[in-house]
Structure 1
Amino acid sequence: MSKTVLITGCSHGGLGEAMAKVYHAKGFQVFATVRNMAKAGSLADYDGVEILELDVTSAESIRHCAQTVAKHTGGRLDVLVNNAGVNAIVPLLDASLDEAKKVYDTNVWSVVAMVQALAPMLMQAKGVVCNISSVSGEMVFAWAGVYSSSRSAGTRISETLRLEMAPLGVRVVTVILGGVQTSGNDPNNIADLELPPGSQYRKIASVIDRHKKTMVHPNKQKIDIAAKNVVDDVLNGHGIFIRRGQASTLSWLCNTFLPYRLFTWMINRECLRLKRKCQPSESARRRHVPMAEESDARIARLEDKMESLLAAMQTFTSSFGPLAEAIQPLSTSNAALENIPRTDFSARPALSSATVSTHPNPSLQSRSYAASPTASPPNQADEQLEYFRTRMLPYFPFIGLTETTTHDLRQNRPFLLRAIHTVTTLSTQERLIQVEELKRLLFTSALLEVKSSMDMLLGLLTYIAWSTDPFLGRADLVSRLMMLAISLVYDLRLFKPSSPDVQVMMAISQGEAEEPSQHLNAETLSSLLEKQRAVLACFILSSNLSSHLGRQDALNWTPRMEEALHILTLNGPCPTDKLFVSQVRLQLLKQKAENVRQLEETECAHTGTAPATISLPQLLYLKTLRRQLQELRSSFPSDLSQTAFSMTQPLNISGRLGFERLECLWQSVENIKSWLDSFGAIHCSELIGQPFHFWSQMIMSLTLLKYLSTLRDPEWDCQAVRNAVPLISTIDSMLQKLDQSRQQPELQCNDHLLHYISKLLTRCRLWAEARWDMTCPMQEANVLSARSPDATSHNSYIPDLDQIAWMQSMDLGDDQWFDEVLSIPTAFD
């Protein structure tokens, strides 16, 4: 039986709704309550989510809700989330006591009422109560006396419940929530401030209104990220206090380490500067103008200092976010402390000195990545690492992780561990949350702190290799991450040894050479091979992205890389090094063929002529490459033939004549057939672990097959292509294999990559079935030509892949993209 959760306050656009979706994605039966059923939003469309109408201030409504839940669950409830709350921004002198009591009824007493009503079910399940409070309960804000005091009281109630329910087997946690982007915080959804006619604050009503509409605190965390973090922390038992949202940790730091009056002044300084506007006496202000100006100057100087202090503290919490998240109030239980990353204050010097990636002690590198706020619990982290090592890495084995443990990675390669957690998250919705955290760490380390480390490079390459972004409308992100990885290769000087002048400059500026001999002598074989695999992997990925997206050039092949390949060939200690070497050599042949094509295009551009024929040296070179390709393929053992595949790109042959052109065209058909045969030989359980370039080649193969099957040329036999590799039956067999793969237990979500690939193939098949004339391709060409004057020119040549618009804009998660692309009658693009 699936676990159950009841969440109050699930109106559309709020944190409750976002948490309900996260719990639902984790397999929970969700009871989402709203006060107004019209505000349920999209939750009603989710199977496994029950929408209940509930007024948390009504005892009768709570009783009826508890009865409904008990009827559905058999008297058990695993998680209760008291999320319902209301805001109130008004000066205390103008506050209505009746309205203030309503705020307390919702923010304080409803927590007690809900726990009282559901306690038997919680005790039956040994469940968890999660009470959502706010950083406002820790601060003294002007104009927010009613709201902040209710949150402070709610926190105390939650803490008391924790003590009283622990003997009953129920765990109670308190969430101190910072700034989060919800519909309730949207200024457009907040009514204007209304003050009574006699209010002392009417002159500054606009300022108070800005506070009410949260416009003074514009920086807020995305709601999906906050919800995912809170749910993970609750389920994983991360302490009795959970701090999530913008400035939640900063609030505790300031409350703990700054004097009370100073902190209160800092967060209310705008209000204090307005105090003279509330004074009615104009003459009194004139008498004290000199004193006021001097006071203003002192305040301005103090503000400058405090701004510097705040900036420093914010830099501290962003740069050492994991450490700050680990610092919890002193009341945190020992059990909670065991889940906190083992990073103490004595490690701070190592943190600051870890910016030099060539440090001889790898354990001192990149400590600032340690355990991010969304880090996985120990058991889950071990499972993800094992899944990556056994189900994904074998198909692109550029890292040696044979005996590496999660603990080892957390200590020495924390960013790589974060990337592994991201790529092993198969649900697209959940992965997006992980990606945001990964991007934040990258931005902080690579741009703000300007670090370069092997940890960062390996993590980047891991994410790029198994990224789904190019297929989901985020090709720009992968392209830019690839450029960052290439820049790290250059920064770490992995592509070639340092020249003498660089070593001299490093010795002058930093007191030692960049690659001193003692470091080289101390460098282990494992570290050397790790760097060599990384630079070779960077070459493969950049070459594939270059051909697939056309937005950047591949990493240049250098003699140092050739040496690295030779060393791995002779001395690779990992069993998978032989496969990785074969993949590199295949990609190198493909890139060399691409370089020939680019050279030819450059020569034609200079001379202003069409590529009527290929030069004799280029032809001989291509023949040599083709022979090397055949030799390499024939050298593959049977256990490598299914994974060490590649497809050479067809040259730009649109202007060539005669046998040479036809030979190239038919070679492309043979290449596609060879790739599809390799695809058919792969077991369905192995598809989910394939890297990005596998799926890229699959889409390229089908695209080129479509062009070769419809190429309008009197010398080209389209029917022969269709007989050799029939498009529709090929799609059918691929769909069948994908459907079998989707039965794997880890693919029970409906937003994984294979789901989207199947969607693409299904739509392509419908397109082909509606427009395909298997018996008379030339008749089809004539009909299409009559319909569209552009059809003849379109189907008379094969464009470069980076010129096919639909491949550049691919978004398999967007139905509108499918309609725009596959509704065109003449071609995919």
Structure 2
Amino acid sequence: MPESTYGRACGHCFKSKSKCVIRHGGESCERCHRLKKQCSPAEHIRKRNPQNSSAARTAKLEEKLDGIVSLLQSVTGTTVPPTNIPALSSNVPALGLLNTGDSSSSSGPPANSMSTPVSSSADEYEPQLSNVTGSNGRAALNKIRLDNPHAETAFGYKPRPDEAESRLTVFRSELLPNFACIHLPFTVSANELRQSRPFLLQCIMVVTSTSVQERNLLSTELVKTLTHEVFILNKGHFDHLVGLLIFLAWGNDFGNKNHLVQLAMSLAQDLRLNRPLIDEGGHKFARLVACGVGIPTETHSLEHRRAVLGCFFISSLVSSFFGRIDPMQWNSLMDEHLRTIEESKECLNDEGFALQIRLQLLLHHSYQMRDFECEGSQHSKMPSGFYLKALCSQLHDIKASMSPRLQQEFSVMAGFHYTEVSIHERAYPADAALSCSMTGPQHLQCLCACLEAAKSFIDLTFMMPPVKWLGMPLHFRFQFMRCLVALYRLSVHEDPAWDREAVRNTIDLIAVFDHVITSMEQRSAEIGNPDDDIIIHLCRVMKGFRAFCAPKLAPDEAPLGNSNGQAIGEDDLIPEFMDFADDAWLQDVLGWPAY
């Protein structure tokens, strides 16, 4: 039976992809006859795709580009309407929502050192405070974010003008001298700072709050603002870096903000603050202009140097306290930054800030030596006593370089005593694997030096009024706790040549706890709002630490009582300490490896 030639199958066989066999007579094929279908020839002309000319393709590409440009313009032009945020408490000044608007609509910045525009000004409006709960305010805020995912608006709180000026004055006079990682001239007002550095002002409003409830809520909104602008809008400015340093330095807890410390290091590296602003080919990085650094030059400005040094300080502290991240690497350019800050006369606080960096750098080197010894590195072939003498010699040189004014600065001297404690603490670490190889008189000398340094730190703290605790950076509180841990270990250190009773006669740790707790309770009573006071929260931490240490230091002592005269057990106080402290701190107190 003859088959149809290739390409001549009927329409039905062609569509079903079947063999087309012509019947005798040639009227139809076998398949169509069997299925009783009309056998008709298939179309012989194939459909071809139209060929676009070069001009048509160009026009289509231009149309796509126009669409992308229109989309970007619609994104940058998005605005967020103001929303109401409820007041936190009748005792806390009500704060409204800060809306920075679009950068194109912001007014020009003032002509001063803070003149680099990194974000836009806040809309001038007075929010109406409602009586609803805080969850409704946060729900409205989240709805705005979901409806406008690309809005270039900073979400935060805008205080009243007089309150903003008052808080800025408190920060500049009481907080900033203790860790001067930025310079805020007294000529810069809160309104000018809102124009040039809105995120920095928002961070200052957070750290100057004395209410725990208010600070927690503002901190949450602050982190949302930061992540929205840096990760969603991909706009990491110098304003974000300096504001983040302030938030970390006076925030609630280092241990819960490791990711923010890493973000600060990433911003500093992205802005090339720890690297030359000109690459090997001699090309300047114009992108830094868009990031708020300013016009790229061959050298960094003083504010850039302070920021990157502050970033190193905080990252090194977090790394040494909690051991979860690696600190920012120190290099030759950082040495240049430090020398420039020491030689500059722009700010009175620069001298003390530079000394704090030198002390932390010395601690950073001591931690590196400790790690080399643990890893059995080639760097650790020298005896541990040799390293200890070298560190003590450098510490002595730093003290000799202090001016008489710096020797009266509380934050500087506290950092000096803490550095001395940390250096000599290697003689009795929590982890036996970290212990140095010193024995005999040198080992006892190291223990005595640590005892004297820790006692000097505590004596210095007793000279400070409790209200000053609010102005001290967060790292001071951890240094204070670390010195208490050192005294506790020295009081229970088991060594035949070590007189533990003499240690307890030198400084009574239980009396130290009682003095600090009493002072804090008196200060909290003066404020009149003990349930929402940062000082009373610190007081509870001290009570928790005391409850842990008392059984070994004073086993016959009666339990600590509360304000009603009822006994407070260890089980009631330790949770407060655990809420405040990081797990590495608990390991440190309990004698487990904390590194």
Normalised by the size of structure 1, how large is the TM-score?
A: 0.48
SS in 2 for 1:324: coil
1:325 aligns with 2:81: yes
* Distance of aligned partners of 1:590 and 1:635 in 2 relative to their CA distance in 1, 3 Å threshold: farther
User: CA separation in 2, counterparts of 1:689 and 1:640?
Assistant: 14
* Distance of aligned partners of 1:369 and 1:585 in 2 relative to their CA distance in 1, 3 Å threshold: farther
SS in 1 for 2:408: coil
* Match runs of 1:296-335 below 5 Å: 323-326=79-82
User: CA separation in 2, counterparts of 1:513 and 1:385?
Assistant: 27
Match of 1:563 among 322, 336, 341: 336
* Distance of aligned partners of 1:732 and 1:563 in 2 relative to their CA distance in 1, 3 Å threshold: same
Deviation larger for 537-546 or 409-418: 537-546
* Distance of aligned partners of 1:631 and 1:740 in 2 relative to their CA distance in 1, 3 Å threshold: farther
User: CA separation in 2, counterparts of 1:744 and 1:502?
Assistant: 63
Match of 1:363 among 117, 130, 137: 117
- Structure 1 residue 457: Cα displacement: 0.3
1:386 aligns with 2:169: yes
Partner residue of 2:318?
A: 545
SS in 1 for 2:324: coil
* Distance of aligned partners of 1:826 and 1:511 in 2 relative to their CA distance in 1, 3 Å threshold: closer
* Match runs of 1:41-440 below 5 Å: 323-326=79-82, 347=104, 362-365=116-119, 372=155, 374-403=157-186, 404-440=188-224
Partner residue of 2:252?
A: 468
- Structure 1 residue 680: Cα displacement: 1.4
Does the 8 Å CA contact 2:118/2:292 hold for their aligned counterparts? no
* Match runs of 1:676-755 below 5 Å: 676-743=458-525, 745=527, 748-755=529-536
SS in 2 for 1:661: helix
Q: Deviations over 1:72-113 (max 9, x none)?
A: xxxxxxxxxxxxxxxxxxxxxxxxxxxxxxxxxxxxxxxxxx
Partner residue of 2:230?
A: 446
Partner residue of 1:628?
A: 397
User: CA separation in 1, counterparts of 2:577 and 2:384?
Assistant: 35
* Distance of aligned partners of 1:520 and 1:740 in 2 relative to their CA distance in 1, 3 Å threshold: farther
Name the amino acid aligned to 2:116.
P
* Distance of aligned partners of 1:582 and 1:340 in 2 relative to their CA distance in 1, 3 Å threshold: closer
- Structure 1 residue 381: Cα displacement: 1.8
CA RMSD, Structure 1 to Structure 2 (Å): 4.5
Match of 2:451 among 664, 669, 674: 669
1:480 aligns with 2:267: no
User: CA separation in 2, counterparts of 1:675 and 1:389?
Assistant: 25
User: CA separation in 1, counterparts of 2:281 and 2:215?
Assistant: 41
- Structure 1 residue 549: Cα displacement: 1.3
Partner residue of 1:133?
A: none
- Structure 1 residue 657: Cα displacement: 2.6
Match of 1:759 among 530, 540, 560: 540
Does the 8 Å CA contact 1:415/1:459 hold for their aligned counterparts? yes
Does the 8 Å CA contact 1:709/1:722 hold for their aligned counterparts? yes
Partner residue of 1:659?
A: 441
Does the 8 Å CA contact 1:546/1:554 hold for their aligned counterparts? yes
Partner residue of 1:639?
A: 408
Q: Deviations over 1:347-405 (max 9, x none)?
A: 26999xx9xxxxx9712546687663532222222222122222222211222113221
User: CA separation in 1, counterparts of 2:227 and 2:320?
Assistant: 27
Does the 8 Å CA contact 1:482/1:542 hold for their aligned counterparts? yes
Name the amino acid aligned to 1:577.
D
- Structure 1 residue 769: Cα displacement: 3.4
1:593 aligns with 2:366: yes
- Structure 1 residue 698: Cα displacement: 1.0
SS in 1 for 2:155: coil
Does the 8 Å CA contact 1:369/1:441 hold for their aligned counterparts? no
1:520 aligns with 2:520: no
Partner residue of 2:6?
A: none
Name the amino acid aligned to 2:304.
K
Does the 8 Å CA contact 1:350/1:364 hold for their aligned counterparts? no
User: CA separation in 2, counterparts of 1:624 and 1:340?
Assistant: 53
Normalised by the size of structure 2, how large is the TM-score?
A: 0.65
SS in 2 for 1:469: coil
* Distance of aligned partners of 1:431 and 1:720 in 2 relative to their CA distance in 1, 3 Å threshold: same
- Structure 1 residue 345: Cα displacement: 6.6
User: CA separation in 2, counterparts of 1:717 and 1:654?
Assistant: 20
Name the amino acid aligned to 1:401.
L
Count of residue pairs brought into register by the alignment: 450
Q: Deviations over 1:475-504 (max 9, x none)?
A: 23x111001001111111111214534754
- Structure 1 residue 761: Cα displacement: 1.6
Does the 8 Å CA contact 1:612/1:657 hold for their aligned counterparts? no
User: CA separation in 2, counterparts of 1:670 and 1:505?
Assistant: 52
* Match runs of 1:12-27 below 5 Å: none
User: CA separation in 2, counterparts of 1:612 and 1:567?
Assistant: 35
Q: Deviations over 1:532-586 (max 9, x none)?
A: 1111111211121111111112222222222222222222322222221222222
**For the pair shown, which has the larger CA radius of gyration, 1 or 2?**
2
* Distance of aligned partners of 1:571 and 1:320 in 2 relative to their CA distance in 1, 3 Å threshold: farther
Partner residue of 1:457?
A: 241
Q: Deviations over 1:489-525 (max 9, x none)?
A: 1111111214534754957xx799999997428x9xx
User: CA separation in 1, counterparts of 2:456 and 2:503?
Assistant: 14
- Structure 1 residue 693: Cα displacement: 0.4
Does the 8 Å CA contact 1:428/1:751 hold for their aligned counterparts? yes
SS in 2 for 1:374: strand
Name the amino acid aligned to 1:481.
L
- Structure 1 residue 808: Cα displacement: 14
Name the amino acid aligned to 2:523.
S
- Structure 1 residue 449: Cα displacement: 2.2
Partner residue of 1:295?
A: none
Does the 8 Å CA contact 1:642/1:682 hold for their aligned counterparts? no
Does the 8 Å CA contact 2:454/2:483 hold for their aligned counterparts? yes
Name the amino acid aligned to 2:408.
D
Does the 8 Å CA contact 1:468/1:753 hold for their aligned counterparts? no
Q: Which has the higher contact order (CA 8 A, sep 6+)?
A: 2
- Structure 1 residue 463: Cα displacement: 0.4
* Distance of aligned partners of 1:669 and 1:340 in 2 relative to their CA distance in 1, 3 Å threshold: closer
Gapped runs of 5+ residues in structure 1? 1-307, 329-338, 355-359, 776-805
Q: Deviations over 1:646-680 (max 9, x none)?
A: 11212243654323322222222122112112211
Does the 8 Å CA contact 2:235/2:291 hold for their aligned counterparts? no
Does the 8 Å CA contact 1:673/1:725 hold for their aligned counterparts? yes
* Distance of aligned partners of 1:678 and 1:517 in 2 relative to their CA distance in 1, 3 Å threshold: closer
Does the 8 Å CA contact 1:756/1:813 hold for their aligned counterparts? no
